Amino acid sequence: MKRVISMVSGIFIFSLAGYGEKIEYPETKTVKVVEEKFGIRLEDPYRWMEDLDSPDLKKWIKIQNKLTFSFLEKLDKREEIKKRLKQLWKFEYYGVPRKRGNRYFFSFNDGSKDQPVVIMKENDEEKVVIDPNKWSKDGTVSLAFFVPSESGRYIAYGISEGGSDWRTIKVLDLQTGKLLADKVEWVKFSTVSWLGDEGFFYSRYPAPKEGEKLEDVNYFHKVYFHKLGEKQNRDLLVYERKDKKEWGFSADVTDDKKFLIITVWKGTDERNLVFYTSLSSGVDKNKIVELIPNFENSYIFIGNDDKTFYFLTDNKAERKRVIAVDISDPVRDNWKEVIPESNDTLVDVVYVGGKFFANYLSDAKSKLVVYGTDGSYIKEIALGSMGTIYGLSGRRNDDELFFSFTSFVSPPYVYRYIVSKESLSKFKEPSLNFDPSEYQVVQSFYRSKDGTRIPIFIVGKKGFARGKGKYKTILYGYGGFNIPITPRFRVSTIVWLELGGLYAVANLRGGGEYGRSWHDQGRLHNKQNVFDDFIYAAKYLIREGYTDSKSLGITGRSNGGLLIGAVITQEPSLFGAAVPAVGVLDMLRFHKFTIGWAWVSDYGDPEKEEDFRVLYSYSPYHKALKEKKCYPPTLILTADYDDRVVPSHSFKFAAALQKSQICNNPILIRVESRAGHGAGTPVSKKIEEDTDILSFFYNMLKLH
């Protein structure tokens, strides 16, 4: 490998005719980094932006933000949009309850607070037991999770600062109302699982290097048991693998308290292992049984009847099924099918009150079906609209199942289902300051480049139709990691619809809408299919007369940010504006930071020549470096505390795009302070960000 380093700099000045005034982009230093890899000469002039503590970078961010915010503040409708967002955010949000003892615990926000609080309900009396809004003045310290103990006396909760994935766990005694001295640090990609009221299991990484907690690579996850009243350095190490640095672990106590289930994962690969140990004589780290020892399929533990373990799996079932494994005789020939695979995609199953509740996706829309433990069909719980079920909550001996249901135009409603009575009722419902009946949702299908049939949702005010006019339209996509994109409520969507726009969501390959093959068709060497699916969704909206190129805005987050970066560098003239958020944009170095190595299962390994060539062919950063084009107006979003997709991806892409822009369309980057990848972002920051996004789209797209 050859490398040459020298220092140069440049300033880019463009007159943005039509957008009000001349923009002078900040001076962006370049470092001449040239590498030769697999015979390809690679330039990386903005690699210096990977040093997040660099004084030069901090100065660059400050100047870029000043430019971006001065541009955004002058846009039409901005104050009107912000005012309406604030009004609509004042709806009641209820999380799905968890029952422990005679107590119910759930999150709640009346819309006036930056962070939701945790409420405990007992004997019809409700009181706030955790209020994250008191933890910081700016609302950037958030509650990542909370888990009540078996009796409901204690509650363990995770704290996140600035949206980081790192968690610090604390414990509250609900009987005394006092915070215990217990403190568990450096927890990531883990919640807790209680063993009675004695203590809890959790997983953590080693503490990162000093000053590198937001960028240091995360390896060597370990499972611990924390006994209440003990210091963390006395926690029992339950399981580790010194020979498998990429393995991660989730530890869960079964409802009957007889077993500890250890799910072993490797990055974002859906295939996993399952180990267990008996808890009959306490925690014994020396008696871990490797029940499923090979990374061949996905196995999600549902529950158990003593030594019969139930799993949701894609073993011999592309769209998943439920199987039973008797751990007394666990050979595969003795595994029993309980719920067979169907034409719909089985995404979640819980075991409550002696019944299985199965959440299916039928063309990316939820339906809930009840089965007996022998797999016999009992009923479908009808919810009557096009939406999404999530948060199925309940335990083996409970008589109550809770879940949330939402749609594009309806905030989450929390439902309670009484198993013994087969009765459904609303546990909590928000009061709204808009009328959902004023809007309509249409699901259509279109053909992608290779002829694959792709679903697309289109949302707007009642009466919209194809060919009726050119609506300002926002198209959203994701397409990765086997994650299904289903109808979800967003305040910003309602504001956009009120402005007369349409909102569209394409269910791209790479997601989890149609099982394993749908995912496989959009990952690794098939990743271009995802971009083609999105491009053809845009062409469908234009061809059917919903919009035109100049009136079509596109957006996506994280892997969806990669999607937006890829399509604007491949087909820039197809789109009227673009907002890639917290995106993976340098596809040759994503694996070198924090948890980036875990994405190799979806993207491929840049250190392997065959994968490298595919990644290089679409890497948005490298295409922007090489190709001077007229890119659409683009607002790149990132955050300084994002330790999942480090912000250097967005910094480098913005610098490259600004340099390669040959027309007057603005290329801007918005860097949020004390915020992360998205989770835990305070409401006030969400409103500010949504104001900027909607204002940008409203002004950049052609029609007013």
Q: Is 80 helix (H, G, I), strand (E, B) or coil?
A: helix
Q: Which residue has the tokens 């609506």?
A: 471
597 has a pLDDT exceeding 90: no
Integer Cα distance of 458 and 474 in angstroms: 10
For range 668-693, the mean pLDDT = 84
How many C-beta atoms surround the C-beta of residue 450 within 10 A?
A: 11
Last residue of a domain, one of 431, 460, 478: 431
Given this model, what pLDDT does residue 703 score?
60
Q: Are residues 456 and 420 in the same domain?
A: no
How many C-beta atoms surround the C-beta of residue 629 within 10 A?
A: 16
Given this model, what pLDDT does residue 119 score?
97
Q: Are residues 602 and 497 in the same domain?
A: yes
pLDDT per residue as tens digits for the range 422-460: 999 999 988 888 999 999 999 999 999 999 999 999 999
Q: Residue 11: which pLDDT band, with cuts at 50, 70 and 90?
A: very low
Q: Are residues 424 and 453 in the same domain?
A: no
13 has a pLDDT exceeding 80: no
Q: What proportion of the chain, given as a percentage, has pLDDT over 70?
A: 95
For range 380-385, the mean pLDDT = 89
Give the angle 354-360-362 at the CA atoms, nearest 5°.
Answer: 155
9 has a pLDDT exceeding 70: no
DSSP symbols for 216-249: S-----EEEEEETTS-GGG-EEEE--TT-TTEEE
For range 637-651, the mean pLDDT = 88
Q: Are residues 534 and 619 in the same domain?
A: yes
702 has a pLDDT exceeding 90: no
* Residue 206 backbone dihedrals phi, psi, to 5 degrees: -60, 155
Integer Cα distance of 21 and 264 in angstroms: 55
674 has a pLDDT exceeding 80: no
Nearest C-alpha neighbor of 4 from the set 47, 51, 39: 47
pLDDT per residue as tens digits for the range 575-586: 999 999 999 999
**Lowest model confidence (mean pLDDT) among 173-187, 381-395, 630-644, 671-685:** 671-685
In a domain, 408, yes or no: yes
405 has a pLDDT exceeding 90: yes
214 has a pLDDT exceeding 70: no
Last residue of a domain, one of 410, 431, 452: 431
Q: Are residues 506 and 578 in the same domain?
A: yes
Q: Are residues 35 and 69 in the same domain?
A: yes
- β-pair partners for 192: none
Catalogue the E-assigned strands of 110-196: 117-122, 125-130, 141-148, 154-161, 167-173, 178-187, 193-195
For range 261-266, the mean pLDDT = 97
Order of strands across the sheet that contains 289-292:
247-253, 259-266, 269-278, 289-292
18 has a pLDDT exceeding 60: no
pTM, entire model: 0.92
Q: Are residues 539 and 654 in the same domain?
A: yes
Contact 518, 640 (CB under 8 A): no
Given this model, what pLDDT does residue 209 score?
81
Given this model, what pLDDT does residue 117 score?
96
Q: Are residues 425 and 469 in the same domain?
A: no
For strand 400-407 and strand 410-418, is the pairing parallel, antiparallel, or unpaired? antiparallel
Upper half-sphere CA count for residue 155 (Cβ side, 13 Å) = 27
Average pLDDT over the chain reads 93
102 has a pLDDT exceeding 70: yes
Q: Is 510 helix (H, G, I), strand (E, B) or coil?
A: coil
Q: Residue 19: which pLDDT band, with cuts at 50, 70 and 90?
A: low
pLDDT per residue as tens digits for the range 529-577: 999 999 999 999 999 999 999 999 999 999 999 999 999 999 999 999 9
In a domain, 405, yes or no: yes
**Lowest model confidence (mean pLDDT) among 173-182, 401-410, 417-426, 640-649:** 640-649
Give the angle 234-238-244 at the CA atoms, nearest 5°.
Answer: 120
Given this model, what pLDDT does residue 680 score?
64
In a domain, 349, yes or no: yes
Q: What proportion of the chain, given as a percentage, has pLDDT over 90?
A: 83
Question: Can you give the CATH number for the domain in which 53 is found?
Answer: 3.40.50.1820
Q: Residue 679: which pLDDT band, with cuts at 50, 70 and 90?
A: low
> What's the number of domains the chain is made of?
2
Q: Are residues 362 and 396 in the same domain?
A: yes
Tokens, residue 632: 């659409």
Given this model, what pLDDT does residue 6 score?
33
Residues 6+ apart with CB under 8 A from 219: 205, 245, 246, 597
Burial class (CB in 10 A: 0-12, 13-18, 19+), 500: middle
Integer Cα distance of 119 and 117 in angstroms: 6
Last residue of a domain, one of 431, 456, 491: 431
pLDDT per residue as tens digits for the range 140-168: 898 999 999 999 999 999 999 887 889 99
Catalytically annotated residue among 193, 558, 619, 648: 558
Q: Residue 292: which pLDDT band, with cuts at 50, 70 and 90?
A: very high
Expressed as residue numbers, the domain containing 50 is: 7-86+434-700
User: Which H or E element spans position 7?
Assistant: strand 7-10
In a domain, 328, yes or no: no
For range 483-489, the mean pLDDT = 97
> DSSP label at 387?
-
8 has a pLDDT exceeding 90: no
Give the angle 261-264-270 at the CA atoms, nearest 5°.
Answer: 120
For range 191-213, the mean pLDDT = 91
In a domain, 675, yes or no: yes
Q: Are residues 551 and 649 in the same domain?
A: yes
Integer Cα distance of 118 and 115 in angstroms: 10
**Residue 437 annotated among the catalytic residues of the structure:** no
642 has a pLDDT exceeding 80: no
Nearest C-alpha neighbor of 26 from the set 669, 688, 700, 675: 669
Q: Are residues 414 and 472 in the same domain?
A: no
21 has a pLDDT exceeding 80: no
**Residue 649 annotated among the catalytic residues of the structure:** no
In a domain, 310, yes or no: no
Q: Are residues 516 and 626 in the same domain?
A: yes
Catalytically annotated residue among 226, 519, 649, 677: 677
* Residue 11 backbone dihedrals phi, psi, to 5 degrees: -130, 140
59 has a pLDDT exceeding 50: yes
Integer Cα distance of 636 and 629 in angstroms: 17
In a domain, 526, yes or no: yes
Integer Cα distance of 302 and 297 in angstroms: 16
In a domain, 239, yes or no: no
Integer Cα distance of 505 and 492 in angstroms: 14
Given this model, what pLDDT does residue 63 score?
95
For range 103-118, the mean pLDDT = 92
